[in-house]
Protein backbone atom coordinates (compact mmCIF):
# COMPACT_ATOMS: atom_id res chain seq x y z
CA UNK A 1 0.00 0.00 0.00
CA UNK A 2 1.30 3.41 -0.90
CA UNK A 3 2.02 5.86 1.90
CA UNK A 4 -0.60 8.28 0.57
CA UNK A 5 -3.32 5.60 0.64
CA UNK A 6 -2.29 4.52 4.14
CA UNK A 7 -2.53 8.11 5.36
CA UNK A 8 -5.96 8.46 3.74
CA UNK A 9 -7.18 5.34 5.54
CA UNK A 10 -5.72 6.58 8.83
CA UNK A 11 -7.38 9.97 8.53
CA UNK A 12 -10.72 8.37 7.66
CA UNK A 13 -10.48 6.34 10.87
CA UNK A 14 -9.42 9.36 12.93
CA UNK A 15 -12.18 11.57 11.53
CA UNK A 16 -14.98 9.07 12.10
CA UNK A 17 -13.81 8.05 15.55
CA UNK A 18 -13.22 11.69 16.53
CA UNK A 19 -16.75 12.63 15.53
CA UNK A 20 -18.03 9.60 17.45
CA UNK A 21 -16.07 10.65 20.52
CA UNK A 22 -17.66 14.10 20.41
CA UNK A 23 -21.11 12.48 20.30
CA UNK A 24 -20.27 10.23 23.25
CA UNK A 25 -19.23 13.26 25.29
CA UNK A 26 -22.50 14.97 24.33
CA UNK A 27 -24.18 11.84 25.66
CA UNK A 28 -22.38 12.16 28.99
CA UNK A 29 -23.58 15.77 29.27
CA UNK A 30 -27.14 14.71 28.50
CA UNK A 31 -26.93 11.90 31.06
CA UNK A 32 -26.08 14.39 33.78
CA UNK A 33 -29.14 16.40 32.75
CA UNK A 34 -31.42 13.37 32.71
CA UNK A 35 -32.10 13.64 28.97
CA UNK A 36 -31.89 9.93 28.27
CA UNK A 37 -33.61 9.94 24.87
CA UNK A 38 -30.99 12.42 23.66
CA UNK A 39 -28.23 10.20 25.03
CA UNK A 40 -29.59 7.26 23.09
CA UNK A 41 -29.63 9.34 19.89
CA UNK A 42 -26.06 10.51 20.43
CA UNK A 43 -24.81 7.00 21.17
CA UNK A 44 -26.61 5.59 18.12
CA UNK A 45 -24.98 8.21 15.88
CA UNK A 46 -21.63 7.53 17.53
CA UNK A 47 -22.08 3.83 16.90
CA UNK A 48 -22.78 4.46 13.20
CA UNK A 49 -19.54 6.43 12.92
CA UNK A 50 -17.59 3.75 14.77
CA UNK A 51 -18.98 1.08 12.44
CA UNK A 52 -17.85 3.22 9.48
CA UNK A 53 -14.36 3.58 10.96
CA UNK A 54 -14.22 -0.11 11.78
CA UNK A 55 -15.14 -0.98 8.17
CA UNK A 56 -12.29 1.19 6.92
CA UNK A 57 -9.95 -0.56 9.37
CA UNK A 58 -11.23 -3.99 8.30
CA UNK A 59 -10.61 -3.17 4.63
CA UNK A 60 -7.06 -2.21 5.50
CA UNK A 61 -6.54 -5.44 7.44
CA UNK A 62 -8.07 -7.47 4.61
CA UNK A 63 -5.53 -6.03 2.17
CA UNK A 64 -2.76 -6.95 4.58
CA UNK A 65 -4.15 -10.48 5.01
CA UNK A 66 -4.22 -10.86 1.23
CA UNK A 67 -0.49 -10.30 1.12
CA UNK A 68 -0.29 -6.59 0.38
CA UNK A 69 2.92 -5.17 1.77
CA UNK A 70 2.19 -2.31 4.12
CA UNK A 71 4.80 0.01 5.55
CA UNK A 72 3.34 1.04 8.88
CA UNK A 73 3.36 4.73 9.71
CA UNK A 74 2.83 6.40 13.05
CA UNK A 75 -0.39 8.00 11.81
CA UNK A 76 -1.95 4.55 11.44
CA UNK A 77 -0.90 3.62 14.97
CA UNK A 78 -2.53 6.84 16.16
CA UNK A 79 -5.68 6.06 14.16
CA UNK A 80 -5.94 2.58 15.66
CA UNK A 81 -5.46 3.98 19.16
CA UNK A 82 -8.08 6.66 18.54
CA UNK A 83 -10.61 4.12 17.26
CA UNK A 84 -10.15 1.59 20.04
CA UNK A 85 -10.25 4.26 22.76
CA UNK A 86 -13.47 5.71 21.37
CA UNK A 87 -15.06 2.27 21.04
CA UNK A 88 -14.27 1.61 24.70
CA UNK A 89 -15.58 5.03 25.72
CA UNK A 90 -18.87 4.33 23.91
CA UNK A 91 -19.21 0.99 25.70
CA UNK A 92 -18.68 2.74 29.04
CA UNK A 93 -21.27 5.37 28.10
CA UNK A 94 -23.79 2.65 27.24
CA UNK A 95 -23.28 1.04 30.65
CA UNK A 96 -23.46 4.40 32.42
CA UNK A 97 -26.72 5.20 30.66
CA UNK A 98 -28.23 1.98 31.99
CA UNK A 99 -27.06 2.91 35.49
CA UNK A 100 -28.40 6.45 35.26
CA UNK A 101 -31.75 5.13 34.05
CA UNK A 102 -31.99 2.51 36.78
CA UNK A 103 -31.23 5.11 39.46
CA UNK A 104 -33.76 7.59 38.10
CA UNK A 105 -36.44 4.87 37.95
CA UNK A 106 -36.26 4.40 41.72
Per-domain residue ranges of the chain: 3-104
- What's the pTM? 0.90
* Cα separation values, 20 from 42, 66, 70, Å: 9, 30, 27
Selected catalytic residue, list 25, 54, 78, 82: 78
- pLDDT averages per 10-residue partition of the chain, 106 residues: 86 96 98 96 98 91 88 90 97 97 86
Task: Output DSSP code: residue 28.
Answer: H
Class of domain 3-104: mainly alpha
For residue range 15-30, what is the model confidence (pLDDT) as tens digits?
Answer: 999 999 999 999 999 9
How many CB atoms are closer than 10 A to CB 65? 9
How many CB atoms are closer than 10 A to CB 50? 23
Per the annotation, the verdict on 25 as an active-site residue is no
Phi/psi at 105 (nearest 5 deg)? -75, -15
Amino acid sequence: MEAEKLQEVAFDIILSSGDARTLVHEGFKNMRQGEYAEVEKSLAKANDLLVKAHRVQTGFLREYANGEKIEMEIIMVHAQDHLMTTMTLKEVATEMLALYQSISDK
